[in-house]
Amino acid sequence: MQNLPHHRVKLVAVLAASAIAPTLCATKVGAVESAQRLVVAQAADKASGDGVIKGVNATERKLLITHGPIAALNWPGMTMAFGIAPGIDLTGLAPGAKVTFTLSRDAKGLYVIDEIRRVE
pLDDT confidence bin for 99, thresholds 50/70/90: very high
Q: Per residue in 25-43, pLDDT tens?
A: 444 444 444 444 444 444 5
Residue 93 above 80 pLDDT?
Answer: yes
Q: Residue 75: which residues within 8 A CB-CB, separation 6 or more?
A: 69
Going from N- to C-terminal start, the domains of the chain cover: 46-118
pLDDT in tens, 56-85: 999 999 999 999 999 999 999 999 999 999
What distances in angstroms separate CA 101 from CA 4, 24, 62, 79, 85, one per listed residue? 73, 45, 13, 14, 12
First to last CA, the chain: 82
**Mean per-residue pLDDT of the chain:** 78
Architecture of the domain delimited by 46-118: Beta Barrel (2.40)
pLDDT greater than 50 at residue 112: yes
51 close to 78: Cβ distance less than 8 angstroms? no
Report H helices in the chain. Answer: 6-42
